Amino acid sequence: MKHILISFLTLFFFCSARSSDPVCSICGARITSDYFKYTLSGSGEEIIVCADCQTKAIKCSICGIPLGKQVFNLDDRQYCSQCFYKVLSRPVCGLCNKRIPGNYTTYTAAGRDILHVCESCESLYAKCDCCGRPALYTEIIDSKTLCRNCASTVIRCKACGAVLLDKIYRYNIYNYTYCSDCEKNLPRCAVCNLPAGKGSRTLSDGRIACTDCGATAVGSIDAVIKIYQLIKGFLYAGYGMKIREVAGIEFCSLEKMRLLASDVSTYDNRSVPQGLFRKDNDSVKILVQPELPRNLLVGVIAHEYANQ
């Protein structure tokens, strides 16, 4: 009988102690050992979690609170109710297309959409050497990593063909662009004064012509005379301009052209004329630099012929 009474008292006091223990907010069991306490930032409500649920329960991807039955899923992540609605107002990563719960980087560029990139994608994907943005797909061009957008609009040096990412030299009148090495180190075309790179040629008098100027250089005096005849006919047929016939057309070296031009009051000694007309009594002769590009030669002959 004494044994039974002691057992009953022991059970009574044991049950009384358990009834005052905290209850786990996830599994609902009373906690008789260690537990974890969380305070919700929005409401101030306290959440108590037993050690077993702390280990096994799904955690909120942002605040880390163990989740019970109410779990909000978004982009393969789980959230508590408070964090879920906060995440809905966050930007979407432009690479993985998921909402960004944490830190992110924003990229802006003229003519490009704003790009938000989460920390994971920021470290995972290579950055374009041109625009500096990480990209899902890149191409290697001339040892440069370029995104598809920059690869499709890449600017190359007119002389050497290299991809231009750093300092560039642009000549808007020709819409040509050069790298700093070619701009500083290449010889200049004797006609257009631009850097003469790949495909340049040496003219008969030793001058260097770039690819464009050399491709249509007129080296025959007979071809020059034919161009003169076409210009004369065009001015008469189109504008009724009947100008006296020239006595002849000749090539003239740069040295002689500079010497003859020095007698002209409007001559600028910083350059050599590409064409001149010379009067000898009643006759007129047109002089032109040898091997000028065809389009330029047309303009030179037309100018000298009309202004004689």
Asked whether residue 256 is assigned to any structural domain, the reply reads yes
Range of the domain at 176: 156-201
For residue 117, how many other CB atoms are within 10 A of its CB?
Answer: 24
Specify whether the CB–CB gap between 121 and 107 falls below 8 A: no
Nearest to 305 by CA among 264, 223, 246, 224: 246
Instruction: Give the pLDDT confidence of 30-84 residue by residue, as tens digits.
Output: 988 889 988 877 677 888 999 999 989 999 988 888 988 888 998 888 988 888 8
pTM: 0.53
Residue 8 has pLDDT above 50, yes or no: no
CA-based end-to-end distance of the chain: 144
Q: Please state, in angstroms and rounded to a whole number, the distance separating the CA atoms of residues 115 and 132.
A: 11
- Any domain includes 13: no
Q: Is residue 96 part of a domain?
A: no
Stretch 144-169: mean pLDDT = 88
pLDDT at 265: 61
pLDDT at 75: 86
178, 210 Cβ separation under 8 angstroms: no
9 assigned to some structural domain: no
Q: Give the per-residue pLDDT at 203.
A: 87
Whether residue 95 lies inside any domain: the answer is no
> Tell me: the pLDDT tens digits for 209-252?
999 899 999 999 999 999 999 998 898 888 888 888 888 899 99
Q: Are residues 227 and 297 in the same domain?
A: yes
The pLDDT score that the predictor gives to residue 5 is: 36
User: What confidence tier does 184 reach under pLDDT thresholds 50, 70, 90?
Assistant: very high
pLDDT of residue 188: 93
pLDDT at 266: 63
Q: What is the mean pLDDT of the chain?
A: 85
Interhelix angle 221-239/294-306, rounded to 10 degrees, is 60
CA distance 17 to 14: 5
Q: Judge whether 266 lies within some domain.
A: yes
Structural domains counted in the chain: 4
Kindly state whether residue 33 falls inside one of the protein's structural domains. Answer: yes
DSSP designation for 307: T
